[in-house]
Every structure is written in C-alpha cells, then in structure tokens.
C-alpha cells in the first residue's frame, strides 16, 4: 500500500527539470588573464590582455621580466590566431591558428594550422587560469 503513494512522488521528482545554466561569458572576455601549462616536463605561463597582446614566459613570475615570446592574438568565436613578434619561440610574424574552448577554468587548444613547431606543442593541451 505504501508503494502506491510513493510512486507519484517519484514520477513527479523525475519530471522536474534542473534550473537553467547561467550563460557563459563571451570568449573575448574569458581569454583575458593569466594561464599556466602544468606539464610534468615544463611549466609555461601566458598572459592575454584585453587589447590583443600575448606574452609567454617559462614561469608565471617571469612574464614581465623574462618573456620567451610576445606578440598579438586575434579571437574570432572559438578560433584563436597567435602571432609572436619577439622572443625565441617562433619566427617573427608566423601566425598559428587554434580552435579553443575557453572557460573560467582555462583554455583548451586544438591546432588548426601552425608552422611553428615549438608553439604547436600546445595542441591538445589545457592551460589553467592562474
């Protein structure tokens, strides 16, 4: 007899929808900030400015003092174009294109096209927000 009155409660509970997720901030807002690659062999840090500049360093505390690359980025939806103009990472002016998933947690890179072998190592990696 008890099972009969519990059944409508279960059916009602199963039909309830969870509250909607809040909308995700646009990628051009989420990309601004500092991120780290946490890899066993090496750590790398990157800073993306709201003005479209990117700086990379071996360690986060070296972004201002010892950058290994700097340049510009363009973000079009989920497509990120990186062009380094200074540093030891890539030949100056060579653009690399990546599909990215950006969240409050970090950035996930998937290479579309990049002739710079050293930069292309980010393919398949997630860099975490600092």
Tell me, yes or no, whether 83 lies in a domain: yes
What CATH number should be reported for the domain holding residue 72?
A: 2.40.128.370
Detail the DSSP E strand segments found in the chain.
33-38, 43-48, 53-57, 67-76, 79-87, 95-102, 106-114, 126-129
Helix (H) or strand (E) holding 21: none
pLDDT in tens, 97-112: 999 999 999 999 999 9
CA dihedral 55, 59, 61, 62 (to 10 degrees): -60
Residue 44 lies in a domain: yes
What is the pTM (predicted TM-score) of this model? Answer: 0.81
Q: Please tell me the predicted confidence (pLDDT) of residue 16.
A: 75
8 occurs within a structural domain: no
- Domain-located, residue 21: no
- Residue 4: the pLDDT is 52
Does 19 map to a domain? no
In a domain, 32, yes or no: yes
Contact 35, 49 (CB under 8 A): no
- For residue 72, the enclosing domain spans 26-129
Q: How many domains does the chain have?
A: 1
Element (H, E) at 9: helix 2-15
For the chain, residues with pLDDT lower than 50 are: none
For residue 68, being part of any structural domain is answered with yes
With respect to residue 74, please indicate whether it lies within any of the assigned structural domains: yes
């Amino acid at each position: 007899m008890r099972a009969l009155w519990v059944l409508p409660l279960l059916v009602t509970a199963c039909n309830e929808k969870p509250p909607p997720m809040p909308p995700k901030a646009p990628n051009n807002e989420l990309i601004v900030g500092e991120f780290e690659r946490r890899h066993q062999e090496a750590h790398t840090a990157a800073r993306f400015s709201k003005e479209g500049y990117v700086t990379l360093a071996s360690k986060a505390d070296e972004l201002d003092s010892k950058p290994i690359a700097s340049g510009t980025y363009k973000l079009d939806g989920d497509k990120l174009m990186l062009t380094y103009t200074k540093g030891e990472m890539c030949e100056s002016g060579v653009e690399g294109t990546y599909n990215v998933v950006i969240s409050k947690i970090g950035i996930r890179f998937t290479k579309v096209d990049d002739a710079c072998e050293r930069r292309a190592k980010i393919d398949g990696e997630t860099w975490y927000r600092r």
